[in-house]
Amino acid sequence: MDDISSQQIATLVNSQLPEEQFSKHSKAIPTVYFMRPELSQILNIYGRVVAAGHWCDYAIDHLTDQAIFSIFRRASEMPHYRIIKEPTLANQQGAWRIMGSGGQVLKRGRCLDQLLRYFDRHLLKAVD
């Protein structure tokens, strides 16, 4: 084993990996992510509505053109709400939107704070 040179090891490693990963012409595809303050705001609202007993589970997806925070009432369902960040629409309609379970746009905006106020109605309780 001591007779193997570093060049031979590199050849063995490269032969085991797909060639597409090492293509000279491939470009890194940018991915949209939630920034820490954005995710903190979303999780703050999510936690309060979960404590109220309305939601149960969530999922986060990072795609090439958008980041999606999906909210579920039950873990086995389709998402009840989706909070979508799409920076390419920031100058036109706003980078943020809330989608309902039927695919309809419930709210759209440029500022996440204002957009998340949509969920305040879940936190309101009737007082006798």
9 vs 5: CA distance, rounded Å: 6
What separation, in Å, do the N-terminal and C-terminal C-alpha atoms of the chain show?
79
pTM over 0.75? The answer is no
The pLDDT tens digits of the residues spanning 52-99 come to 888 889 999 998 889 999 999 887 778 999 999 998 877 787 889 999
Domain ranges of the chain: 36-123
The pLDDT tens digits of the residues spanning 16-50 come to 444 444 455 556 677 888 899 999 999 999 999 89
